[in-house]
Structure 1
Amino acid sequence: MAFLRNLLASILGTLVALGILFFMLLIFASLAESAGEVNVRQHSVLELDFPYPVSENSGYDSEDPFSFFYDPTMGLNDITKAIAVAKTDDRITGISLKTPYLMAGLAQTRAIRNALQDFRESGKFVYAYGDFFMQKDYYLASVADSIFLNPVGTVDFKGLAAEVLYFADFQEKTGLKMEVVRHGKYKSAVEPFLSNQMSPENREQLSSLIRSLWAAMRDEMAASRGLAPADLDRVADTLGAREPEMALRAGLVDGIAYQDAYEAKLVRESGTAKEHPERISLQRYMRYSRGRSLHTGTDEIAVIYAQGEILYGEGGPEYIGQELMTRALRRAREDKDIKAVVLRVNSPGGSALTSEILWQELQLTRKEKPVVVSLSDIAASGGYYLAVGGDRILAEPTSITGSIGVFATIPNMSGLSDKIGINAEQVGTHRFSMDYSFFEPMRDDFREILRQGIERAYDTFLERVASGRGITVAQADSLAQGRVWSGTEALENGLVDALGGMPEALEMAAEMAGVDDYRIRTLPRYKTGLERLMEDLGGAEAKTGSLLEAELGAEWAQALRELRAMLQQEGVQARMPFTLKIH
């Protein structure tokens, strides 16, 4: 028995040692790769593909060997910078675009599209090839000089649609419900818990929103393809690009070809003498471009990224917390080399308290230097709360913004506890000592206290909007009620100052600060992979997302995350009025 025990111990020790050795080899390999200079050969074609989700700023450090422990993302700032660097790189002859299942928002997609349009102005080519094109993929690819489709491929071109799930019957049947207090007739984040069907107000705002987003996409695609917008509407109405020959006749693609024929075209256009095109991947070229500066001035403009839900706490790459953002704003206003600030917002909102704290920090920053706000895919509710703290606001036509309204949701399982035989009894010293129990119906007096808090938060929100936009509280209220707007609609309503992306925001900030040339300082500083790993060693957070998707699939994993987030909400929420997935 002792022999067997010793043998098993030896085997286990060997396995542990091998695991540690493998771990160290991975680190050294990562360090070696990061330390090495990226070799860009002559006649290279920059191959753009997007295997990971696109975030505003990934916070990824190519020299951090511990970053591979976390789900990778691609920073929009790194992507657009790589395209801009390639524009003036004589070794890069053109770009080949491959975009199956682009995991980016519409505004982010438009930012990449604009960068490619600027690249084309250098005289270099941009070609796109797809075995198939999903609608967002095609929106990006439409900027190319030529688009090629696999002979058995398809173009998913059908317009935009949105779907919302409703849970009133589910709550009735299970006894598990959400207690809701809200302000704003369009504040439909809580509507799925109150009804089994879409309200006229929500249907109105959703219809208006997706029509505006589609119009912006359609007009840009039509201009790039030399087609009339009405032509694209007809294609969408009839699914007129579902087969390669149909897509070709409709003018959506320029050629039908297999991959080898497409590569032969890349060889001819790039001027290489080799049999296959000389490629460099976007990921490798981003490593190269990170070390290159597009601006050489001594003055600086700070670009502060506010991305994710707004929660009370530290903050990080996935969510906005007051601690990390406050440090970034203070650093920006106290550093004499920084002459202006661009706040890049991509957030559906969240905690009203945290939004107010950061709004105040923005006011302090505005007293010292100009603050320009650039809206990405979503800057709604709490995200817009932050935006009105700046001097100027720019939005993409496809940005989703507004949603000026607040609500509170609290889980209640009194119906479920009755069904399964659980009874909760309470004892307290005062009337509100037990202000709320999950196991009892919500008392009217407690609901009234919540309602008063909601009204106070809503009034404060309106005051911030009125002050920031130079309008009356009554005018702000007429644009509020929780309604969401596209960037184009927001401009018409005076909620933003102009349409544009990060390049325009930087140009405006430089003009307001009176600087001609500048460098960009990216803030905040996120924790390194090692710091995050050490925090997560006591739990299982590092790979939760990957495990969920592996076991449940992406759709169900996302639904579970959204339900968990709703159940974990604390306090008054200034949040995007629904989880919007646009198809």
Structure 2
Amino acid sequence: MKQFFKFVFATILGLFITFFLLIIVLVAIVATATSDKPTDVASNSVLRIALTAPINERTPDNPLAGLSFLGFDDNKVIGLNDILANIKKAKTDNNIKGIFLDESYMMSGQATTEEVRNALIDFKKSGKFIVAYSEIYTQSFYYLASVADKVYMNPKGIFEFHGFSSQVMFYKGALDKLGIDMQIIKVGTFKSAVEPFFLTKMSDANRLQVNAYLGSMYDHFLSGISASRHVNKDSLFNIANNMLIQNPEDAVKYKLLDGLKYKDELLDELKQRTGVDKKKNIKSVNIGDYTKANGNDDKDTSSNRVAIVYAAGEINGGDGDDNSIGSEKISKALRQVRLDDKVKAVVLRVNSPGGSSLASDVIWREVMLTKKVKPVIVSMGDYAASGGYYIACAADSIYAEPNTITGSIGIFAMLPNLQKFFNDKLGLTFDGVKTGKFADLGDVSRPLTPEERLILQNQVNRGYDTFTKAVAAGRHKSQAYINSIGQGRVWTGNQAIKIGLVDKLGNINDAVKSAAKKAKLKDYSVVPYPEQTSKFKNLGKTFSVEMRAQMVKAELGDNYKYYNQVKEAVQRSGVQMRMPYEVVIK
């Protein structure tokens, strides 16, 4: 009887889940059918920008956008491409009187923030206003907001201004307790991606490089605020270093804020700026909705095209997705633009910390072939490091933001030895036969022999030699010179331009203009590649993956990033070209 009720319950549950998914599909169909409806923008409107979700390179192709349930809240998700396009559009839109930077968390890299910030600076040339307001100013959001004509905050709010820091979690102690020994094979004094697995603190070389690139990023951060707020950079350093801002009044005192206002007072000022009666609501449009505003489609009808190939995320084999780089998918996109006679030039947008050495080489080959027939310009995002730099180095020229993280020219491989874990913790032992001396090379149930370690070290050495040769050829430098600035060392864009790893400082639009100029184009249209994966086509997969991620995030909170780092480390295989770790500055 128990089995009977168990099967009945399982059947009912299955029917319920199926019915629920069908409802989602129907909602998605309706959303898709109405998604092309343009957004009306009233006269004297304010463009509201509230960036509360991570900023991807492109707005996802999602028919569920605008819906908010069970973890889906893609109305908040807008790509950098649409953010920049919408700010540019608002500059000349007579219906838009100004921009309201509302409370934002800026969960994005420094280079992404830089691109949005520069777009706002360009917007101000129109003579229109920008007003910023928040209850909590993180350092990243304040850096963005500092370009505003007026920067306000809640009188009881929190203002963070205390300098940058970088922290690494080390796993060796935990691995020792579990009886797990991570066997490391690497090339590069500064290649510190593997340090958390065999050290308990930063190496001297890693501490040196982190101090250097973090200092470079911080100097740029202070310089930007100094220029916008007309406060001496040394004074800003002193304010942060001694934490002189401990309450909102201090921020006003040191001229980092223009005043303290409650939200109702801020809204009254916006009404005054737009000529709206205090008893009426402000006319506004959210930046996500503004994408569909009439006249926002500025596609050129020219038959000449500049292709932007987006390569964002960790590099692996296969197709990847919109948040990772699959060597097959990106290679296919590069072949497509190379063989398309309408495409006259290519911009490779790289935002990647690296990944698989083999997958990186597959993409590098396609970049090389494409460069032989048409100009290829690289635009670097937050990261273009290790494998991310490898796929970029073959281009005709490279653009980066001053605070882009790049370089990390180095190779490593990592293989766990789980013998003690299996034997002492689980009581498991292994035995078997093999037809050759190295038939079980890579077996995690035992340590590497000296001969096996030498074989792997030689593979890593060859990979590093290939890497440095490719960079030397692409950058027109000697291999010895590339080795001297390589060794896995990480650089900022500001540093990289001085040592020849980057050609110019600029954003993706600068790269597009450069590509068009090199192809001698006056009229051209910009076309993105590869085709985005529609969430509607993979609704079931998307639903389950996002639901799992949302549940884990809900349980772990801020510690989710550590969980994700360990999960990614376990899933990696083969020789790796990747960044030491993620750099997060709040």
Determine if the TM-score, normalized by the shorter chain, exceeds 0.5. yes
Opposite residue 305 of structure 1, the aligned amino acid is Y
Question: Could you say which residue in structure 2 is the equivalent of 1:329?
Answer: 334
Q: State the Cα distance separating 1:334 from its structure 2 match.
A: 1.3
Opposite residue 46 of structure 2, the aligned amino acid is V
| Kept in 2: contact 1:405–1:482 (CA 8 A) | yes
Question: Could you say which residue in structure 2 is the equivalent of 1:320?
Answer: 325
| Kept in 2: contact 1:65–1:529 (CA 8 A) | no
Question: Could you say which residue in structure 2 is the equivalent of 1:532?
Answer: 538
2:562 to 554, 559, 581: 559
Opposite residue 329 of structure 2, the aligned amino acid is L
Q: State the Cα distance separating 1:19 from its structure 2 match.
A: 3.2
Question: Could you say which residue in structure 1 is the equivalent of 2:418?
Answer: 413
Q: State the Cα distance separating 1:234 from its structure 2 match.
A: 1.4
1:345 to 344, 350, 353: 350
1:467 to 465, 473, 478: 473
1:575 aligns with 2:575: no
Question: Could you say which residue in structure 1 is the equivalent of 2:46?
Answer: 45
2:180 to 149, 155, 176: 176
1:244 aligns with 2:248: yes
Alignment of 1:100-115 (within 5 A): 100-115=104-119
| 1:69-115 C-alpha deviation (Å, 9 max, x unpaired) | 96743210111101111111111110000243211110000100011
Q: State the Cα distance separating 1:512 from its structure 2 match.
A: 0.5
1:383 aligns with 2:381: no
Question: Could you say which residue in structure 1 is the equivalent of 2:239?
Answer: 235
Partner of 1:35: helix, strand, or coil? coil
| Kept in 2: contact 1:67–1:528 (CA 8 A) | no
Question: Could you say which residue in structure 2 is the equivalent of 1:504?
Answer: 510
| Kept in 2: contact 1:164–1:580 (CA 8 A) | no
Partner of 1:376: helix, strand, or coil? strand
| 1:410-440 C-alpha deviation (Å, 9 max, x unpaired) | 1221121221221111311111111132111
User: Using the alignment, how far apart are the partners of 1:115 and 1:299 within structure 2?
Assistant: 26
| 1:351-390 C-alpha deviation (Å, 9 max, x unpaired) | 1111111111001100111000011101100000011021
1:514 aligns with 2:496: no
Q: State the Cα distance separating 1:10 from its structure 2 match.
A: 12
User: Using the alignment, how far apart are the partners of 2:339 and 2:256 within structure 1?
Assistant: 52
**Structure 1: runs of 5 or more not aligned:** none
| Kept in 1: contact 2:146–2:229 (CA 8 A) | yes
Change (3 A) 1:336 1:99: farther
Change (3 A) 1:63 1:332: farther
Opposite residue 437 of structure 2, the aligned amino acid is R
RMSD: 2.5
User: Using the alignment, how far apart are the partners of 2:540 and 2:25 within structure 1?
Assistant: 16
Q: State the Cα distance separating 1:173 from its structure 2 match.
A: 2.2
User: Using the alignment, how far apart are the partners of 1:99 and 1:512 within structure 2?
Assistant: 41
Partner of 1:130: helix, strand, or coil? strand
Opposite residue 468 of structure 1, the aligned amino acid is G
Q: State the Cα distance separating 1:534 from its structure 2 match.
A: 5.2
1:287 to 292, 301, 309: 292
Q: State the Cα distance separating 1:66 from its structure 2 match.
A: 11
**Structure 2: runs of 5 or more not aligned:** none
Partner of 1:496: helix, strand, or coil? coil
Q: State the Cα distance separating 1:286 from its structure 2 match.
A: 2.0
Question: Could you say which residue in structure 2 is the equivalent of 1:272?
Answer: 276
Change (3 A) 1:526 1:14: closer
Q: State the Cα distance separating 1:536 from its structure 2 match.
A: 5.9
Partner of 1:340: helix, strand, or coil? strand
Opposite residue 405 of structure 1, the aligned amino acid is G
Question: Could you say which residue in structure 1 is the equivalent of 2:364?
Answer: 359
Q: State the Cα distance separating 1:541 from its structure 2 match.
A: 2.6
Q: State the Cα distance separating 1:267 from its structure 2 match.
A: 0.7
Structure 1 segments, 4+ long, off by >4 Å, are: 7-18, 61-71, 534-537
The aligned length equals: 578
| 1:523-570 C-alpha deviation (Å, 9 max, x unpaired) | 111221133235568xx43432212102222x2222112111111111
User: Using the alignment, how far apart are the partners of 2:171 and 2:12 within structure 1?
Assistant: 53
| Kept in 2: contact 1:212–1:488 (CA 8 A) | yes
User: Using the alignment, how far apart are the partners of 1:8 and 1:176 within structure 2?
Assistant: 43
Question: Could you say which residue in structure 2 is the equivalent of 1:309?
Answer: 314
Alignment of 1:61-460 (within 5 A): 61=62, 72=74, 73-273=77-277, 275-288=280-293, 292-293=297-298, 295=300, 297-420=302-425, 421-460=427-466
| Kept in 2: contact 1:181–1:450 (CA 8 A) | yes
Q: State the Cα distance separating 1:63 from its structure 2 match.
A: 8.5
Change (3 A) 1:299 1:17: closer
| Kept in 1: contact 2:109–2:584 (CA 8 A) | no
| 1:442-470 C-alpha deviation (Å, 9 max, x unpaired) | 21111111000000000000000000000
| 1:5-37 C-alpha deviation (Å, 9 max, x unpaired) | 9x9999879957863674355225413541322
User: Using the alignment, how far apart are the partners of 1:526 and 1:233 within structure 2?
Assistant: 43
| 1:151-205 C-alpha deviation (Å, 9 max, x unpaired) | 0012101111100122333222220232110000000011122211211110100
Q: State the Cα distance separating 1:64 from its structure 2 match.
A: 8.1
Change (3 A) 1:433 1:232: same
| Kept in 2: contact 1:31–1:64 (CA 8 A) | no
Opposite residue 579 of structure 1, the aligned amino acid is E
| 1:45-71 C-alpha deviation (Å, 9 max, x unpaired) | 010001321011233256989999967
User: Using the alignment, how far apart are the partners of 2:295 and 2:61 within structure 1?
Assistant: 11
Opposite residue 88 of structure 2, the aligned amino acid is A
- Higher deviation after alignment, 289-298 or 201-210: 289-298
Q: What TM-score do the two structures reach when normalised by structure 1?
A: 0.94
User: Using the alignment, how far apart are the partners of 1:296 and 1:362 within structure 2?
Assistant: 27
Opposite residue 528 of structure 1, the aligned amino acid is S
Q: State the Cα distance separating 1:242 from its structure 2 match.
A: 2.7
Q: What TM-score do the two structures reach when normalised by structure 2?
A: 0.93
| Kept in 2: contact 1:347–1:380 (CA 8 A) | yes
Opposite residue 494 of structure 1, the aligned amino acid is G
Paired-residue identity, %: 37
User: Using the alignment, how far apart are the partners of 2:432 and 2:542 within structure 1?
Assistant: 37
Opposite residue 238 of structure 1, the aligned amino acid is N
Partner of 2:132: helix, strand, or coil? strand
